[in-house]
Every structure is written in C-alpha cells, then in structure tokens.
A and B are shown apart, each in its own frame.
Chain A
Amino acid sequence: MVIFDETKTGDKSEMDKMHLDQHISQQFNDDLEQLREHLLAMGGIVEGQVEDAVRAIETADTGLAEKVLQVEEQVDREEIELDEECTAILVRRQPAASDLRLVLMVTKANRDLERIGDEANKIAKMAIAISDQGGTSPRGYVELRHIAKSVQKMVAMSLDAFARFDVYEAFKVVQADRQVDQEYRSAMRELMTYMMEDPRSISRVMNIIWALRALERIGDHARNISEHVIYLVRGMDVRHTSLQEIEQKLEQK
C-alpha cells in the first residue's frame, strides 16, 4: 500500500508567498489568476477522464469508455488554449521570478495533463477491447484496481499541491511514484505467470498489461507535475534527483 505521510504540509507563509494578486497591474493579476484556474480546470477534466477510464475497465462499461474518448477532444482544445494564454503573458508581460516560473510551470504541466488524458484514452480503448473479448475476468484485476487507486490519488494530490503551492504535498507524490513503479513491476511478474499458466488468456491479460502500463505512465506525469510545483514554489529543479536529496533540499529553505 502506498503510504502518504499526512503529517507534513506546506507552511502558510510559503503558500502566500506567490502573491499572485499583488501586482501593480490589476490586469496582470487577473491574467495569472486565470492561468492558474484554467490549469486547475483542465486538471479536473483529466482527473475525471482517468476515473471514468478505470471504472470502464473494471466494469467493462463500453459506454463510459466512449465518453472518455469524447472528452479527449476537449482536453486537446484546452491544451492549446492554455499554451496560447502562456504565450500571451510572455509576450505582453515579460514575467520574471515567480511569475516566470508560474508560466513555465503551466506550459510543462499542461503537456503532462494532456498526456495523462492520452493515457486515460488508452485505458478506455482497452476497456472496449476487453468487453469485446467477452466481459470481465478477475485475472489481473486485483493488481489493476490497486495501482489505479494509487495513481488516481497521485493525480489528485499533484493538482492539490499546485492549487495550494504546497511543496510537501508535491514531494509525497514523487515518493508515491517510486512505490507505484515497484508495484507495477511486481504486477507485471504476476500477470506473466497467468499467461504462462494459461496461454489462452494471453490476449486478455495483454489488454490488462497495456492498461497497467498506461496507469504507470499517468503516475509518472503526476510526478512530473509535482516536480514542476516544487520548481514553481522554490525555484529548484528536482528532476532526476534522489528522494533523499529532494527531501534535504526542501528542508534547507
């Protein structure tokens, strides 16, 4: 089970530090606030997509899977709009320091969110394939459900960390990703043995494997978003850094 350390949260002063609403230019305040809200709104849509995709595969609900595929178009539009907003702010305001980091962060997180949407799409397609192959099979579902739960929580937490500019919440997501990666590997081994035991199940188990793979990727993107949050709030790049090092860096300031 993924353990989230609930005791630590970002201190209030750090959350307030972003001062999004304190520019001399009210228009600039509005632009940045809108950018933030827009990313969160897109996050909300993508979060819903993942949830629907997972439920579609668990319940072999093709209708729900189709809905996920439709929402994808909306996510693509949002991605482009968000990028345009970022470009406009860069062009008009030449943001610096935390404002610059916010815009950079949003362009990156935007891409990660869109990719999460893509992965949810893949899961939805697997749900349709599994349903076509003749409904539910308990094989591999335990693993799938388990990882899906962790990954969904990671996505929610990464968005939460962004909404509150909370680096500790973000760090928990980075931690959780390591565990999901481990669980993914052990689930893979498990599913491999199912296929060896019963070669007739191969195509069905493969579909589960693809879905698992997509979930694992969603976890990676949630971790990326969290790393961007840490960059946004503290200005430090924690990509490709060990957990221990990140923790030390976070404690420093």
Chain B
Amino acid sequence: MIKMAEDVKDEQKMQSAEPSAAENDSAGPQDMSAKIQGTVGRPFVDDAKIKMRGVNVFYGEKQAVFAVDLDIKENEVISMIGPSGCGKSTFLRCINRMNDTIDICRVEGSIQLDGMDIYESKLDVVPLRARVGMVFQKPNPFPKSIYDNVAYGPKIHGLVSRKSDLDEVVESSLRRAGLWDEVKDRLDSPGTGLSGGQQQRLCIARTIAVSPEVILMDEPCSALDPIATAKIEELIAELSENFTIAIVTHSMQQAARVSHRTAYFHLGNLVEVNETDKVFTNPDHDLTEAYITGRFG
C-alpha cells in the first residue's frame, strides 16, 4: 500500500507541473503549486490515536487526496482548513469510512485507529462509526422526539438495557452538549422543531450518546449564527477532555480558536501541519501563508 503511495506521489508531481486553466487565474499560488513536496511541519506525534499513512482517495478516475500522512493524538483537537475542493472533507470522511457510501469513491493507504486497520475487509463499519462519530455541516436530527434522537444510538448499539439507564445517558449527553437546560421540559417534542444551533447541539448529543472515542466534525458551524457558533466552540473545548476531535472548517478564525494543531490542505495535498499558534503567526509553507492571509481563495 505504502509503496503504491510513492508511485502516486510521482504521478502527482507530474500533474502539478502543468497547472490547470483554473489555477492560471491567480498568479501567486500557481507558481507555488509546483512547490508542494510532502508535508511540512509536524504531521506525526509519538502516541497517535489515529495513524494515517499514504492515504489516496479517488472519485472514479479523479484523485482527490494525494498520499496524506498524518497522526492524530488522543484528546487533541485538530482542524483541517483549505480552499474549497482541497480534499479536506473527503479526507475527514475516510476516518470513519463515510466514503464507503459513495460508489465511485476508492480509498488507498492505511488508516489505523489504536493500531487497528479500519479498512480491513472483514471489519464491520457500524461499531467503527460508533467509535468514530460524525457531526455534519447541516444539523440533521431524526424526525423523532428530542429524547429519541439521543436515545436511538445507545438503543440500537445495545449499550443500555434499562429505561432508567437510558434516561441517564440521554440526560448526560444533552448536558455535555450544553442543551439540557433548554430542552429538559420538552424532551417529547420533535428535534426538528429546535433552532439551528440547538439542532446542531442535539446532533452532537446524539453523537456522544454512544460514547465514541473520536468525533469528526464537517463544518459544524457553517449554518449557525455567531452565538450558536460560540456555544459549539465552547463545547468543542470541553469535549476535547474526553474525545479526540477532528474538525473541518472554512472559518480560519474558528480553526485558530478551537484547535491545538491545524492542517492545511491544497489541491488534495496535505501541505502543512503545525501547532495552531504557529500556523497563524508564522506558517512554514508559502501556500499556507497565502491562504490564511487571504491572498487567494
């Protein structure tokens, strides 16, 4: 697998040598796109919770992610930023095999969760997705009551047997998602009747109800107002005490606020991974600099 990744890297170098017409529009980055050679900064950590090596993702013939090597540490918040179409969401979705749902999507390389290969052919993705939960861009509560939205996961995964235990899981999940006080008197009303920010927190409560180890967030705040966004960000900081969080965001300020490390993707390449403070004051790569300072979009 890894060896194949090397081949792809060569291929990719050839590709980047001839920039597409779209890239020609902006003079600066186009010169620099030839400069991507591996990842700069600190993509690796000593005790990785998630270890990804030589990850390539293809949609049919088209390659979307090129030979990404990255470690994610336990209880770390890592943010992934980059222009639209840079492969950051695609890459995030590899971590709980969400891309399996797309027929033409093919993932190569190795992704290990606590040393276990998650792309092992015999592996059941349902328990995997319980361990690696996901929160999406648009809040997507089930068309059920608030209570059932949170209780659904623990029930189908058989995590609780008694009603009282289930009540407890629902309450603690809603509390950790910072939603309990707002909904405790109307647990039977439909989840879809909540405001956008509340719905998103409900989705987070639903995710943490099954006690995952990792939470993937794909632009969790892009549909929310600043107050709701602030609440979610506050929540991310609290959740990071117990969970490992990978967040894809279009808001660079959000990445700067919530994450410990920041990964910058460009044209499917992982260009730079560094401590967030470093990325936003003195990034190692010119492309990162150009993106976060708004020199191209």
Contact = CB atoms under 8 A, between A and B. Distances in A.
Do A and B come together as binding partners?
yes
Given A19-B28, A94-B253, A96-B252, A101 B281 contact: yes
A101 B295 contact: no
A24 interface: yes
A25 B290 CA distance: 13
Contact of A97 (B253, B292, B297): B292
Highest count of chain B CB atoms <10 Å: which of A19, A28, A97, A99: A97
A99 B290 CA distance: 10
A21 to B, nearest CB: 10
A24 B83 CA distance: 13
B60 interface: no
A206 interface: no
Contact of A101 (B252, B279, B282): B282
A97 B294 contact: no
Interface string A77-97: 000000000000000001111
A97 B289 contact: yes
B28 A97 contact: no
Contacts of B279: 97
Interface residues of B, number: 19
A100 B280 CA distance: 8
A235 interface: yes
A179 interface: no
Contact of B281 (A17, A24, A100): A100
A144 B272 CA distance: 52
Interface in B257-297: 279-283, 286, 288-290, 292-297
Interface string A11-50: 0000001010011110010000000000000000000000
B282 A235 contact: yes
Interface in A93-131: 94-101
Nearest to B283: A97
Contacts of B253: 94
**Chain B binding surface, main DSSP class:** helix
Contacts of B290: 19, 22
Nearest to A102: B293
Give the one of B28, B290, B294, B297 with max A CB within 10 A. B294
A104 to B, nearest CB: 9
A19 B295 contact: yes
Contacts of B256: 96
Interface in A116-160: none
Given A94-B253, A96-B252, A24 B282 contact: no
Contacts of B28: 19, 22
A161 to B, nearest CB: 18
A235 B279 CA distance: 11
B87 to A, nearest CB: 21
Contacts of A96: 252, 256, 280-281, 292-293
Given A19-B28, A94-B253, A98-B289, A24 B296 contact: yes
Contacts of A101: 281-282
Contacts of B281: 96-97, 100-101, 235
Interface string B230-258: 00000000000000000000001100100
B283 to A, nearest CB: 6
From B253, B279, B280, B288, name the one whose CB has the most chain A CB atoms within 10 angstroms: B280
Contacts of A234: 282
Given A19-B28, A96-B280, A100-B281, A24 B252 contact: no
Contact of B294 (A17, A24, A235, A236): A24
Contacts of B282: 97, 101, 234-236
Interface string B189-225: 0000000000000000000000000000000000000
29 contacts: A17-B286, A19-B290, A19-B295, A22-B290, A22-B295, A24-B294, A24-B295, A24-B297, A25-B294, A28-B294, A95-B293, A96-B252, A96-B256, A96-B280, A96-B281, A96-B292, A96-B293, A97-B280, A97-B281, A97-B282, A97-B283, A97-B289, A98-B289, A99-B293, A100-B281, A101-B282, A235-B281, A235-B282, A236-B282
Interface of B: 28, 252-253, 256, 279-283, 286, 288-290, 292-297
Interface of A: 17, 19, 22-25, 28, 94-101, 234-236
Given A96-B252, A96-B281, 4 more contacts: A22-B295, A96-B280, A96-B293, A97-B283
